[in-house]
């Protein structure tokens, strides 16, 4: 759904077409999950029975979706902030790809992986684009930039010391590795405490790495009982709604 003043319908259709290829061709064979992507026609309500991605400007302020985390049916809802991306020099299509792929691998933000480290036993969140999220590791489908993503082996401690690949672009050499510009959400089970952010070696924390309100990382810190559902009007079932299914 396009709720942005900065992205035209044609731009969204082109990005969605490229992302559909990424999901079918690149992501699905490794993760064993697939999706059919479609764009809601301007002025039409979103369909029921579907997961939503909303393209927005700066933040949730002023949007009908507010700070909500789930659709009215309790299904996953993702948001892409175009102006926020441009302000830090990032491509909104990378964020679009990033959000869709992470929703597919962990739609309800409750999956984790255990990793033994020299500092104790760590719990890693299933966020399969964060560790390689820098644009320099992305790749193009047509003229659209999409995100690299971790493969299931990245979350498997039994693969430590083994042979990859651990990410689609084959940039990583071991599980739980963070590429420059990447990060991960972790909990140290040995020491206790809550979720915190770790970054690649030598990479300082920055304000832009803070979890945005409504983001997947922020939701991990909130009890599910406190999640709010989106209060918007919905249309027909996904299979019968008049949607645009773009293809390259």
Question: Could you please report the per-residue DSSP string of 97-133?
Answer: HHHHHHHHHSTTS--EEEEEETTEEEEEE--TTGGG-
- pLDDT of 11: 96
- pLDDT of 217: 63
- pLDDT of 148: 98
Residue burial 50-77, b: 16+ Cβ < 10 Å; e: rest:
bbbbbbbbeebeebebeebbbbbeebbb
Q: Residue 165: how many CB atoms within 10 A of its CB? A: 15
Contact in structure between 226 and 19 (CB atoms under 8 Å):
no
- pLDDT of 60: 53
Contact in structure between 244 and 13 (CB atoms under 8 Å):
yes
- pLDDT of 66: 41
Read off the tokens for 16: 């969605």
Rounded to 5 degrees, φ, ψ at 109 are 55, 50
- pLDDT of 69: 64
Write out 195-234 in H/E/C secondary structure.
CEEEECCCCCCCHHHCCCCCCHHHHCCCCHHHCCECCCCC
Contact in structure between 152 and 31 (CB atoms under 8 Å):
yes
Residues of the chain with pLDDT under 50: 61-67
């Amino acid at each position: 759904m396009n709720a942005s003043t900065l992205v035209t319908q044609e731009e969204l259709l082109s990005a969605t077409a490229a992302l559909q290829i990424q999901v079918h061709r690149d992501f699905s064979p490794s993760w064993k999950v697939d999706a059919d992507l479609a764009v809601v026609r301007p002025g039409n309500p979103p369909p029921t029975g579907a997961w939503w991605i909303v393209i927005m400007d700066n933040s949730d302020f002023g949007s009908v979706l507010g700070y909500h985390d789930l659709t009215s049916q309790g299904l996953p809802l993702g948001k892409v902030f175009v102006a926020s991306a441009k302000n830090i020099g990032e491509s909104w299509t990378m964020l679009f790809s990033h959000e869709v792929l992470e929703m597919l691998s962990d739609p309800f933000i409750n999956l984790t992986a255990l990793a033994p480290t020299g500092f104790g036993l760590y719990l890693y969140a299933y966020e399969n684009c964060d560790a390689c999220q820098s644009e320099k590791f992305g790749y193009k489908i047509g003229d659209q930039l999409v995100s690299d993503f971790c493969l299931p082996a990245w979350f498997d401690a039994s693969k430590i010391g083994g042979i990859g690949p651990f990410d689609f672009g084959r940039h990583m050499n071991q599980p739980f590795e963070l590429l420059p510009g990447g990060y991960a959400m972790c909990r140290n089970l040995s020491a206790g405490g809550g979720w915190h952010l770790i970054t690649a070696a030598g990479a300082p924390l920055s304000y832009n790495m803070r979890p945005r309100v409504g983001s997947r990382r922020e939701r991990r810190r909130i009890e599910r009982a406190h999640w709010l559902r989106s209060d918007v009007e919905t249309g027909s079932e996904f299979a019968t709604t008049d949607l645009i299914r773009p293809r390259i």
